[in-house]
Structure 1
Amino acid sequence: MKDTLKHQGMRNQLADVLIAKGIQEQKVLDAIRAIPRHLFLDSGFEDHAYQDKAFPIGAEQTISQPYTVAFQTELLQIKPNDAILEIGTGSGYQTAVLLHLKAKVFTIERQQELFKKTKLFFGKMNYRPKKVIFGDGYKGLPEDAPFDGIIVTAGAPHVPKALLSQLKIGGRLVIPVGVDSQVMTLFQRKSEKAFEKQELGSFRFVPLLENRN
């Protein structure tokens, strides 16, 4: 598959949809306009790539709805060279958005099949995260902590303490919390022990998997 002017036009239309839904940060919208989302999907789904919907990507996982990607990314308030930990690499689309914002991305995937496929895809597309790891997102990545931001792209039944502990003071954790449906939750680390919590509406994610090795 190629990236054509038609795809670019569809991305511009998608960005306009996201603006209408309340996404405001220009650099996030620029990422949506720039990244060829259709290449992250199986070719059979190409016609659906620029609709504001989630789609299956195999291994019982989905590529998140573009609005959700933009909403979570906006909450992170990324600055260039911020160290960002992503829990749930999935198709790699969210990773690509983070990279477009010039973040240093460390990403963890739980599903072996997806991990292998997406790691190969990153190489082919010349996307360069700092680390792409097969592992347990509940544990985070203590050897590379602390992080300026942590983004969880699957529904967590509870907030993993390991992730909170791996935030820098001033850092932000964006995590959908809940079982059947999730509440998007933002934690900001104010001090060694103090966190500020905000709940920001209902979303629906595939579950965050634990201890599958």
Structure 2
Amino acid sequence: MKDTAKHQGLRNQLVNVLQQKGITDVNVLDAIKKIPRHLFLNSSFEDYAYQDKAFPIGAGQTISQPYTVAFQSQLLEIKKEHKVLEIGTGSGYQTAVLCLMGAKVFSVERQNELFKQTSSLLPKLGIRPKHLSFGDGYKGLPSYAPFDSIIVTAGAPFIPKPLMAQLKIGGRLVIPLGDDVQIMTLLIRKNETQFEKHELGEFRFVPLLEDKN
């Protein structure tokens, strides 16, 4: 599991690209500068790991484009020690970014193959989320709620009610909504019953899977 000076140089270039695309949160940029994205990918993609592109990671899933990871992370406005619920652990790259930003990360993955891979990879990189779980992201993690923020890393046809219920007042929920193309949507919880909604452009994600069992 090598991380070389060349890799670091490529990460610095990637951070420059993200800044040109409008990412300004220093914590987000610092995390992306430090995390060896190539170790989250199949070795055949290693030479491309620091391009601003998504790649397949198995089980029909993808590692998101770095810009998408940075954009969602910036929207969360994370402060140190914030409790963050991540729906869709995937490769663990987004999890790592949130951890390096100082968040206490609770993450749920629906694909057992990816859950096992990521549970073994993250500790090897010195990244320790508070809790990784295998389960249905639509249900969230009620036993650990409420959360300062919630991030959904797959396209959802609607905003799951349990996730809204698990968000603190003042908390931020970031979710890509839609079928073929998703609209990045930010919900800010104003009180027990009211949420402020912002729509922030088109993205493409793999679909959020529901547990059919």
TM-score, reference length from structure 2: 0.99
Gaps of 5+ in 2: none
User: What residue in structure 2 maps to residue 23 of structure 1?
Assistant: 23
Query: Within the alignment, does 1:46 sit opposite 2:55 as a pair?
Result: no
**Corresponding residue of 1:145:** 145
1:182 aligns with 2:182: yes
Distance 1:30 1:211 in 2: 35
Where in structure 1 do 4 or more consecutive aligned residues deviate above 6 Å?
none
Residues in 1 aligned to 2:164 and 2:142: alpha-carbon distance in whole angstroms: 11
1:93 aligns with 2:93: yes
Partner of residue 123, structure 1: 123
Q: Give the alignment's Cα RMSD to 1 decimal.
A: 0.7
Cα-to-partner distance string for 1:119-164 (whole Å, 9 max, x where unaligned): 0112222211111000000000000000000000000011101101
- What is the letter of the counterpart of residue 85 of structure 1? L
Distance 2:26 2:114 in 1: 30
Q: Secondary structure at the match of 1:149?
A: strand
Taking structure 1 as the reference length, what is the TM-score of the superposition? 0.99
Identical-pair percentage = 70
Equivalent-residue separation in structure 2 for 1:12 and 1:126 (angstroms): 21
- After TM superposition, the structure 1 = structure 2 runs for residues 71-90 of structure 1, keeping only pairs within 5 Å, are 71-90=71-90
- CA distance in 2 between counterparts of 1:117 and 1:52 reads 23
User: Residue type matched to 1:133 in 2?
Assistant: S
Number of aligned residues = 213
Mark the runs of 5 or more structure 1 residues left unpaired by the alignment: none
Check if 1:62 corresponds to 2:70. no
